[in-house]
């Protein structure tokens, strides 16, 4: 029976370290992309609030952190296993990273308004995929199945 952790579809097996602090938690690896994207949404919210109160350092920190998380997700993509899905995710991550950068340069909260509508469906899709994967893994373990 294999003890390797599951990998989210389209992500490299060694990519767990690309999620930074998540690797040190008890969070199942299949949940990393969902958790990372939840963090990006939180950082975008922090940046919007910081821009509204003219807190330039806080806005900068939140936007740069969101960019870093997305860059780590992008770096963890496995193009051989993920194929077209990995290519599409790369394009989305690259676009959002660019928008975050422009919003940071301009300190323009309006540039951030459309980003949650792009990120949230991805986060939800990763949540569903992880739940299905983990449910299958749990059912397999309960059934005593051993794939060799």
- Which of 39, 55, 37 lies closest to 47 in space, CA to CA? 55
Domain span at residue 68 reads: 31-132
CB 59 within 8 A of CB 47: yes
Our count of domains for the chain comes to 1
- CA–CA separation, 36 vs 21, rounded Å? 10
141 within some domain? no
Structure pTM?
A: 0.77
- List per-residue pLDDT tens for the chain, 148 residues long: 333 333 444 444 444 444 445 455 678 888 999 999 999 999 999 999 999 999 999 999 999 999 999 999 999 999 999 999 999 999 999 999 999 999 999 999 999 999 999 999 999 999 999 999 888 866 555 565 444 4
Tokens, residue 116 = 């949650």
Identify the DSSP state of 146.
-
Note whether 42 and 63 are within 8 A (CB): no
Which phi and psi (to 5°) does residue 64 adopt? -65, -40
Residue 67: give its domain's CATH number. 1.20.120.340
Paired tokens of 97? 């990273």
Nearest-CA neighbor of 12 among 74, 102, 101, 77? Answer: 77
Residue 100: inside a domain, yes or no?
Answer: yes
Closest CA to 82 of 1, 15, 3: 15
The answer to the question of residue 25 being in a domain is no
| Closest by Cα among 38, 41, 39, 63 to 50 | 63
> Measured between alpha carbons, how far apart are the two ends of the chain, in Å?
7
Tell me if 18 is assigned to some domain. Answer: no
Place of tokens 């806005």: 59
120 belongs to a structural domain = yes
66 in a structural domain:
yes
């Amino acid at each position: 029976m294999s003890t390797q952790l599951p990998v989210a579809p389209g992500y490299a097996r060694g990519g767990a370290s690309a999620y930074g602090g998540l690797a040190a938690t008890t969070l199942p690896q299949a949940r990393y992309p969902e958790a990372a994207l939840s963090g990006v949404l939180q950082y975008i919210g922090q940046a919007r609030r910081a821009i509204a109160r003219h807190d330039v350092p806080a806005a900068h920190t939140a936007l740069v952190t969101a960019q870093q998380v997305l860059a780590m997700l992008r770096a963890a993509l496995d193009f051989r296993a993920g194929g077209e899905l990995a290519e599409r995710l790369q394009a989305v991550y690259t676009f959002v990273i660019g928008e975050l950068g422009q919003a940071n340069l301009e300190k323009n909260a309006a540039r951030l308004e459309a980003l949650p509508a792009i990120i949230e469906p991805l986060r939800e899709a990763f949540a569903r995929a992880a739940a299905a994967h983990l449910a299958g893994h749990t059912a397999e373990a309960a059934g005593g199945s051993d794939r060799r």
